[in-house]
Amino acid sequence: MTRLSAKTLAGSPTGFAVPDYDRSAVTPGIVHLGIGAFHRAHMAVYVDSLLATNPSWGVVGASLRRPDTKEALEPQDGLYTVAVRDASGTKARVIGSILKVLDANTQRSELLDLMASPAIRIVSLTVTEKGYCSAPATGELDPNHPDIVHDLANPDAPRSAPGIIVAALAQRRAADIRPFTVMSCDNLPSNGPTTRRIVVRFAELRDPALGAWVAEHVAFPGTMIDRIVPSTTDADRAMVTSLTGLEDAWPIMTEPFTQWVIEDHFPLGRPPFETVGAQVVKDVEPFERMKLRMLNGSHSTLAYLGYLAGHQYVSDAMADPAFVKLIHNLMTEEAIPTLDMPGVDLPGYRDQLLERFRNPALQHRTWQIAMDGTQKLPQRLLGTIRDRLKADQPITHLALGVAAWMRYVMGIDENGDTIDVKDPLAMRMMAISAGAGGDPEALFDGLSALTEVFGTDLPQNEVFRGTVIEHLESLFEIGSAETVAELVGD
């Protein structure tokens, strides 16, 4: 089978969308750290849509941990296929906005030199919550994180996202070049201000004068990004080949829906994102909170409960009316009341989310969403819980999501089979679970003592403790599916 590349694409059939611009005329204006599936399904698609009239905004990606994306895309000249799937079928589009992918581990100097060049005006990130080297409960830089310790000791050979950003900014400062804008596209609360605090603090620890310069001159606009992107399977690759006639080592599967809300703060300029469907606003934080609490909080709750109930995909769980009712109630009764967004149709957004979760063509694995829960829970569920507790309001559905996470990270499912728990704290949590011996109270006390996740306030709150333990008892006694059914009255 012929491999996708610039040459083979030029001679391929035209039954699918291809770049409508001359890629040889495109030059890089953006460096993206964390060139994974989500970026390639989201931001890179928006950029691809505007390069015909704005060719100075091409993207150079950087893999920070593994070279797999580089190895997949390099033989394809950076090209890849986005396959948009719903019940009506699949539509393929080849994306050309990524000009090159660098492996930060072996091409670090090349990456830093590129980031330090005047042509680069934006450095964006999708490195996931754990890539910020922060304490999840506070969102502040963790100075004891192994990568931060390494980068402070080796400032010219950084391996963390904060370390790489600050090293490049230091080069620009030394050369008297204005700093690039740092744009987080990760699911963090207040992702712009959070990224700013982390990067500024790292710069201060490296050099107080550099820290002051970063704090004064570098912009950190906030964003809210939304598109569901499942992991790519071999069956997906075969399907893309059947659609395009070209072999693609790493196509991207996604849904029709896409949303991007961007705070308009780019001192060196930006592409006209609003011309290709993005919303450019003065304040993005309300939109971030809406997504984290409604979409992401619901998604995590579905993932843990759904996996425990034997559902491989989100759409499988959403085929159960009890799960649909649970998520509807979580958003309606507990998440929406914490949001102050005049003029925004929050019930309409809820209904849209429920429909997206039902998409049978997407095949979004509950196990994939369940990854890195210690990094996600504070933003997706615990912040909403804190607001509800302060207002003396029930946390019934939210607490079930937390209880399901606690049951999940024990590493043994309801059939006695091993769960492959992917999390930075997996070993600690499994030791805690083993020590709890199947006792719900002991399990709660052990896991809630992870202050980097729960802080010190929630474990001492009797309402939180009692509600989560009650759900844990039910999960142990009757399992996930029956617990959900009993809660919603089905």
Reported as a single tens digit per residue, the pLDDT across 273-332 is 999 999 999 999 999 999 999 999 999 999 999 999 999 999 999 999 999 999 999 999
- Report pLDDT digits (tens) over 391-430: 999 999 999 999 999 999 999 999 999 999 999 999 999 9
The structure's pTM equals 0.87
Q: How far apart are CA 486 and CA 490, in angstroms?
A: 6
pLDDT attached to residue 490 = 64
Q: How far apart are CA 283 and CA 342, in angstroms?
A: 14
CATH of domain 6-281: 3.40.50.720
Q: How confident is the model at residue 1 (pLDDT cuts 50, 70, 90)?
A: confident
For residues 218 and 181, the answer to whether their CB atoms sit within 8 Å is yes
* pLDDT (average), residues 358-372: 94
What per-residue string of b and e applies to 375-398 under the rule 16 or more CB within 10 Å gives b? bbbbbbbbbbbbbbbeeeeebbbb
Pairing of strands 89-95, 80-86: antiparallel
Compute the mean pLDDT over every residue in the chain, rounded to the nearest whole number. 96
What per-residue string of b and e applies to 82-111 under the rule 16 or more CB within 10 Å gives b? bbbbbeeeeebbbbbbbbbbbbbeebbeeb
**Alpha-helical regions (H) of 279-425:** 285-290, 297-308, 314-317, 321-329, 346-358, 366-370, 373-377, 383-390, 396-408
Q: What is the distance in angstroms between the CA of the first residue and the CA of the last residue of the chain?
A: 51
Query: What 3-state DSSP class applies to 152?
Result: helix
Number of residues written out for the chain: 490
Q: What percent of the chain has pLDDT over 70?
A: 99
Break the chain into its structural domains and give their ranges. Answer: 6-281, 285-488
Q: How far apart are CA 421 and CA 372, in angstroms?
A: 8
Higher pLDDT, 54 or 136: 54
Query: What 3-state DSSP class applies to 105?
Result: coil
- Fold type of domain 285-488: N-(1-d-carboxylethyl)-l-norvaline Dehydrogenase; domain 2 (1.10.1040)
Q: Is the pLDDT of residue 13 over 80?
A: no
Q: Is the dihedral of CA 112, 113, 116, 122 positive or negative?
A: negative
- Report pLDDT digits (tens) over 203-234: 999 999 999 999 999 999 999 999 999 999 99
pLDDT attached to residue 116 = 98
- Report pLDDT digits (tens) over 20-64: 999 999 999 999 999 999 999 999 999 999 999 999 999 999 999
